[in-house]
Structure 1
Amino acid sequence: MTKSALVIGGGIAGIQASLDLADRDIHVYLVEKDPTIGGIMCRLDKTFPTNDCSACILSPKMADCNGHPNIDVLTYHEVQKVEGKAGDFKVTVLKKARYVNPNECTGCGDCLAKCPVKNIPDKYEFGLTTRKAIYIPHAQAVPRVAVIDASVCMKINKDKCGNCAKACGKGAIHYDDKDELITLEVGSIISAIGFKVWDAHIASEYGYGRFANVVTAIEYERIMCASGPHRGHIVCPSNGEAPKKIAYIQCCGSRSQKKGWKKYCSSVCCMYATKQAMITKEHGDLQEDIFFMDIRSYGKEFEAYIERGQKEYGINMHRGARVSNIEEDPETKKLLISYTDDNNDGVTEEFDMAVLSIGLTPPEGAEEFAQTLGIELNEYGFCKTTVFHPLETTRPGIFVTGAFAAPKDIPTSVAEACGSSAKAGAWIVGKNFEPCAPKVYPEEKEVIGIEPRVGVWVCHCGINIGSVVDVPAVTEYAKTLPGVVISSESQYACAQDCLDAISTAIKEHDLNRVVVASCTPRTHEPLFREACRNGGLNKYLFNMANIRDQCSWIHMHAHDEATAKAKDLLRMAIAKACLLEPLEGSEIPVTQAAAIIGGGITGMNAALDIAAQGFPVHLVEREKELGGFARNFNFKEDGVSVKDYLAETIKKVQNEKLITVHTGVTVKDIPGFKGNFELQLSDGTKYPVGGVLFAVGAAQYQPTEYGFGNDEKVTTQIALEKKLESGDFNGKDVVFVSCIGSRNDKVKYCSRVCCASMLCNAIKIKLKDPTANVTIIHKDIRTYGFREEMYLKACQLGVRFLRYPVEDELPKYNGTYINAYDATLGEDLDVPVDTLVLATGIAPLREEKEELAKMVKVPISKDGYYFEAHQKLRPVDFATEGVYVAGTAHWPKFMDECIAQASGAASRMLTVISKSKYISEGIVATSNPDRCDGCGVCVGCCDYNAISLVEQPNGAFKSFVNAGLCKGCGSCVASCPAGAMEQRGFRNKQICAEIDACLDFPVGGQ
Structure 2
Amino acid sequence: MCHCGINIAGVVDVAQVSEFAKTLPGVVYADHYTFTCATDSLSAMRQVIEEHHLNRVVVASCSPRTHEPLFQDNLRKAGLNKYLFEMANIRDQDSWVHQGDPVRATAKAKELVKMAVGRAGVLEPLHEFPFPVAQRALVLGGGLAGLVAALTIADAGYKVYLPDIQERFGGSLAHKKHFTLEGHAIQPYMQKLIHQVEDHPNIRWWPNARMTSFSGHVGSFRSHLEFPDNQWEIHYGAAVIATGAVEYQPTEYLYGQHPRVMTQVGMENLLVDNLDQVGDAPTCVMIQCVGSRSPEHPYCSRICCGAAVKNALRLKEMRPRARVFILHRDIRTYGLKEIYYKKARDLGVQFIRFEPERPPEVAADGEGLTITVFDQNLKAPIKLNADYLTLSAAIRPHPVSREIAQLFKLPLDADGFFMEAHQKLRPLDFASSGIFLCGLAHSPKDTAESIAQAQGAAARALGVLAQEEMYVGGAVAAVDPQKCVICLTCMRTCPYGVPRVDQAEGVITIDPAACHGCGNCASACPRKAIEVMHHRDKQFLSKIGAIDLEEVPEDQAAS
TM-score (norm. length: structure 2) = 0.86
Q: d(CA) in 1 for partners of 2:67 and 2:92?
A: 13
Amino acid of the structure 2 residue aligned with 1:994? K
Q: Residue 218 of structure 2 aligns with which residue?
A: 674
Q: Do the aligned partners of residues 983 and 631 (structure 1) sit closer, same or farther apart at CA in structure 2, a change above 3 Å counting?
A: closer
Q: In the aligned structure 2, how far is the partner of 1:486 from the partner of 1:605?
A: 52
CA distance in 1 between counterparts of 2:402 and 2:13 reads 46
Post-superposition Cα deviations, 1:908-935, rounded to whole Å, max 9, x if no partner, equal 1111112221122521223445555666
Displacement after TM superposition at 1:828 (Å):
5.5
1:841 lines up with 2:385 in the alignment: no
Change (3 A) 1:789 1:983: closer
Q: Are 2:284 and 1:737 equivalent residues in the alignment?
A: no
Of the candidates 794, 818, 825, which is equivalent to residue 344 of structure 2? 794
Q: Cα distance, 1:541 vs. partner?
A: 0.9
Q: Number of matched residues? A: 538
Question: How far apart, in 2, do the equivalents of 1:760 and 1:610 lie?
Answer: 32
For 1:670, what is the secondary structure of its paired residue? strand
Structure 2 counterpart of 1:586:
129
Instruction: Tell me what 1:660 maps to.
Output: 204
Query: How do 1:591-740 and structure 2 match up within 5 A?
Result: 591-630=134-173, 632-636=175-179, 641-683=185-227, 684-725=231-272, 726-727=274-275, 728-730=277-279, 732-740=282-290
* Corresponding residue for residue 326 of structure 2: 776
1:749: Cα distance to partner?
3.4
1:479 shift after superposition: 2.2
427, 439, 461: which one pairs with 1:909?
A: 461
Corresponding residue for residue 570 of structure 1: 113
1:261-300 superposed Cα distances (whole Å, 9 cap, x missing partner):
xxxxxxxxxxxxxxxxxxxxxxxxxxxxxxxxxxxxxxxx
Q: CA deviation at 1:884?
A: 0.5
For residue 128 of structure 2, give the secondary structure of its aligned residue in structure 1. coil
Give the counterpart of 1:861 among 401, 413, 426: 413
Decide whether the 8 Å contact of 1:818 with 1:833 is kept in 2: no
Distance in 2 separating the partners of 1:628 and 1:958: 46
Specify whether residues 768 and 480 from structure 1 end up closer, same or farther in structure 2 by C-alpha distance, changes over 3 A only. same
Return the offset for 1:608: 1.8
Structure 1's 979 and 822: CA in aligned 2 closer, same or farther, altered over 3 A? closer
Larger RCO (CA under 8 A, 6+ residues apart): 2
Counting only pairs closer than 5 Å after superposition, residues 263-302 of structure 1 correspond to structure 2 as none
Asked if 1:947 is matched to 2:511, the reply is: no
2:545 maps to 1:996: yes
Where in structure 2 are the equivalents of 1:948-963 lying within 5 Å? 948-952=500-504, 956-963=505-512
What is the CA–CA distance in structure 2 between the aligned matches of 1:585 and 1:616, rounded to whole Å?
27
Counterpart check, 1:819 vs 2:369: no
Asked whether the 8 Å contact 1:778–1:802 carries over to 2, the reply is yes
Q: Does structure 2 conserve the Cα–Cα contact (< 8 Å) formed by 1:735 and 1:774?
A: yes
* Distance verdict in 2 for CA 1:565–1:809, change over 3 Å: farther
Partners in 1 of 2:249 and 2:342 — Cα distance? Answer: 30
Candidates 291, 298, 311, aligned match of 1:761: 311
CA drift at 1:483: 0.8
Q: Which runs of 5+ in 1 are unaligned?
A: 1-456, 1002-1006
Q: Which amino acid aligns with 1:892?
A: P
Contact 2:358-2:374 within 8 A present in 1 as well:
no
CA distance 1:501–1:744, shift in 2 (3 Å): farther
The amino acid of 2:266's aligned partner reads A
Aligned partner (choices 344, 359, 375) of residue 810 of structure 1: 359
Query: How far is 1:583 from its partner?
Result: 1.9
Q: 1:144 matched to which residue of 2? A: none
Q: Shift of residue 836 of structure 1?
A: 1.9
Give, in whole Å, the separation in 1 of the partners of 2:32 and 2:381: 64
Aligned match for 1:475, one of 6, 13, 18:
18
Over 3 Å counting, the alpha-carbon distance change for 1:616 and 1:632 in structure 2 is closer
The residue that corresponds to 2:554 in the other structure is none
Deviation at 1:906, TM superposition (A): 1.4
- 1:778–1:869 distance in 2 versus 1, CA, 3 Å: same
Mapping of residues 408-487 of structure 1, within 5 Å = 457=1, 459-466=2-9, 468-487=11-30
The residue that corresponds to 1:542 in the other structure is 85
The question of whether the paired residues in 2 share the 8 Å contact of 1:714 and 1:837 is answered with yes
Cα distance between partner residues in 2 of 1:967 and 1:682: 29
Which residue of structure 2 lines up, in the alignment, with residue 751 of structure 1? 301
Q: Deviations over 1:698-750 (max 9, x none)?
A: 11122233233334443211122222222232372211222223344444433
Q: Secondary structure of the equivalent of 1:770?
A: coil
CA contact (8 A) 1:818 1:831 kept: yes
The CA deviation string for residues 658-706 of structure 1, in whole angstroms up to 9 with x for no partner, is: 3222322322232211011112334553211111111011111222332
d(CA) in 1 for partners of 2:525, 2:426: 35
Q: How many angstroms apart in 2 are the aligned matches of 1:826 and 1:921?
A: 67
**2:68 aligned partner, one-letter code:** E
Aligned to 2:476: 924
TM superposition shift of 1:782: 3.8
Q: 1:722 to 1:868 in 2, by over 3 A?
A: same
* Distance in 1 between residues matched to 2:189 and 2:241, nearest whole Å: 22
Give the Cα–Cα distance (whole angstroms) in 2 for the partners of residues 977 and 813 of structure 1.
62
Q: 2: CA distance between counterparts of 1:944 and 1:864? A: 19
- Equivalent residues of 2:143, 2:172 under 8 A apart: yes
Task: Give % identity.
Answer: 41
Paired amino acid for 2:373: N
Cα 1:501/1:711, change in 2 over 3 Å? same
- Contact 1:632-1:718 within 8 A present in 2 as well: no
**In structure 2, C-alpha distance between the alignment counterparts of 1:674 and 1:584, rounded to whole Å:** 18
Tell me if structure 2 keeps the 8 A contact 1:519–1:546: yes
* In structure 2, distance between residues paired with 1:808 and 1:499: 60
Superimposed CA distance per residue, residues 101-130 of structure 1 (whole angstroms, 9 cap, x where no aligned partner): xxxxxxxxxxxxxxxxxxxxxxxxxxxxxx
Q: Which residue of 2 aligns with 1:139?
A: none
SS in 1 for 2:29: strand
Residue identity in the other structure for 2:301: S
Query: Among residues 985, 991, 996, which one is paired with 2:534 in the alignment?
Result: 985
TM-score, normalised by the number of residues in structure 1: 0.50
Q: Name the counterpart of 1:331.
A: none
Q: Which residue of 1 aligns with 2:44?
A: 501
| Matched residue, 2:555 | none
- Asked if the contact 1:822–1:829 (Cα under 8 Å) also holds between the matched residues in 2, the reply is no
Q: Secondary structure at the match of 1:926?
A: strand
- The answer to whether the 8 A contact 1:868-1:877 is kept is yes
Deviation at 1:582?
Answer: 1.9
d(CA) in 1 for partners of 2:493, 2:451? 40
Distance apart, 1:936 and its partner CA: 5.2
Partner residue of 1:887 out of 417, 422, 439: 439
